[in-house]
């Protein structure tokens, strides 16, 4: 099958192969060009099982590396373009004497408490859009050759609150500029179903940590992934994907953080910098293939700052969330 207009084919892709496949297969909005993913996978002997949580390849011939959406427990956006209000006083950390104890369980509980105290603006409408601006740099692999880390660049995305309206991606990277995230131009007709990571869809996730934990593992168990057999790591990646470019009700967000604390092998790394140079504290997990994902939070407010991805100690991707809001139309900035 020939490559359709507007796509660069399968010669270029972001992130190492395992993570590229993970990000493509297991999550995110089924708005956009999943058809391109089907084209890239044509001829594979083993079919990839699809589900409503697939992340589409929304960029030209490459995975949209940070296209999972994130307000989650963090300051969200208001109907007038303003941010939601974080708790006035962050929860106290657990301490022993004068030494701060920050195990993964303790840190994620503190983040969950902060999430519960976050006030989202009232009256968020279905016809509005979640706006996220980030600064990022991820590894690009071309024709199976060695990877090259992209220059740091900005990315803006507008995603509909109800998940059925066309969004917009603006990214300062060749081939990624001004992409409509919608149903127009898809190769195959299909019903317009809500995005699985829209605010409305995420509102339906469990607000109970145990049920959220079960949902995480049920979701990743539906994947077929020979390149990343570590199910615990895949659950952690799914958790990370859910806290980047999304808006989530505080109770659901808190349940997600508490569920993440139950994932085996999650650790804490202090003094980790995001792409913007901000230093925070990270929850991290390493997969069986040597890939490590670090999710960075502000030490005082517990706001999600960004992520770093390493493979065998080498940096292969980083991001920083700079701004989030709810706006009335695509292209509108707070």
Considering only CA atoms, which of 53, 320, 330 is closest in space to residue 202? 53
Over residues 204-232, mean pLDDT: 88
pLDDT at 98 over 90: no
pLDDT on residue 132? 94
The DSSP call for residue 25 is: H
pLDDT > 70: percent of the chain = 64
pLDDT on residue 182? 72
DSSP line for 304-329: EEEEEEEETTEEEEEEEEEEEEEESS
* Residues pairing with 132 in the sheet: 157, 324
With the CA atoms of 71, 294, 177 and 188 taken in that order, what torsion angle do they form, in degrees rounded to the nearest 10? -80
pLDDT on residue 226? 60
310-253-294 Cα angle (round to 5): 10
135 in helix, strand or coil? Answer: strand
pLDDT on residue 227? 66
pLDDT classification of 194: cutoffs 50, 70, 90: low
For tokens 């009335």, what's the residue? 328
All structural domains of the chain with their residue ranges: 12-327
Task: Give the C-alpha separation, 61 to 176, whole Å.
Answer: 9
Q: Tell me what the pLDDT averaged over the chain comes to.
A: 73
Task: Give the C-alpha separation, 87 to 92, whole Å.
Answer: 12
Each residue of 269-300: pLDDT tens digit? Answer: 999 999 999 999 999 999 988 999 999 999 99
CB 193 within 8 A of CB 164: yes
Each residue of 119-151: pLDDT tens digit? Answer: 887 899 999 999 999 999 999 877 777 888 999
Which residues are CB-neighbours of 286 under 8 A, at least 6 positions away?
A: 233, 265, 292
Token readout for 252 is 């659901």
Residue ranges of alpha helices (H) inside the chain are 17-26, 34-40, 104-116, 199-202, 209-221, 231-241, 250-260
């Amino acid at each position: 099958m020939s490559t359709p207009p507007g796509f660069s084919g399968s010669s270029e892709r972001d992130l190492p192969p395992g993570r590229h496949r993970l990000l493509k297969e297991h999550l995110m909005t089924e708005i956009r060009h999943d058809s391109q993913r089907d084209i890239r996978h044509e001829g594979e002997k083993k079919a990839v099982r699809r589900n409503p949580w697939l992340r589409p390849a929304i960029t030209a011939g490459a995975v949209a590396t940070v296209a999972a959406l994130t307000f989650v427990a963090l300051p969200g956006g208001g109907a007038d373009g303003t941010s939601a209000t974080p708790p006035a006083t962050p929860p106290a950390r657990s301490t022993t004497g004068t030494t701060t104890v920050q195990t993964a369980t303790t840190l994620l509980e503190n983040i969950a408490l902060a999430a519960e105290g976050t006030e989202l603006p009232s009256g968020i409408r279905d016809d509005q859009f979640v706006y996220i601006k980030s600064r990022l740099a991820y590894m690009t692999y071309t024709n199976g050759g060695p990877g090259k880390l992209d220059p740091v660049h900005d990315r803006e995305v507008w995603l509909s609150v109800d998940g059925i309206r066309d969004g917009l991606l603006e990214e300062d990277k060749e081939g990624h500029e001004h992409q409509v995230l919608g149903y127009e131009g898809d190769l195959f007709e299909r019903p317009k179903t809500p995005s699985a990571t829209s605010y409305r869809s995420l509102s339906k996730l469990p607000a109970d940590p145990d049920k959220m934990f079960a949902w995480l593992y049920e979701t990743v168990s539906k994947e077929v992934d020979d390149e990343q057999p570590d199910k615990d790591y895949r659950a952690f990646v799914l958790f990370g994907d859910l806290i980047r470019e999304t808006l989530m009700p505080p109770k659901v967000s808190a349940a997600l953080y508490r569920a993440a604390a139950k994932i085996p092998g999650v650790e804490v790394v202090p003094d980790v910098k995001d792409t913007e140079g901000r230093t925070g504290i990270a929850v991290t997990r390493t997969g069986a293939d040597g890939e490590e994902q670090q999710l960075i939070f502000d030490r005082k407010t517990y706001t999600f700052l960004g992520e770093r991805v390493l493979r065998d100690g080498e940096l292969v991707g980083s991001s920083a969330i700079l701004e989030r809001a709810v706006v009335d139309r695509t292209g509108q900035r707070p």
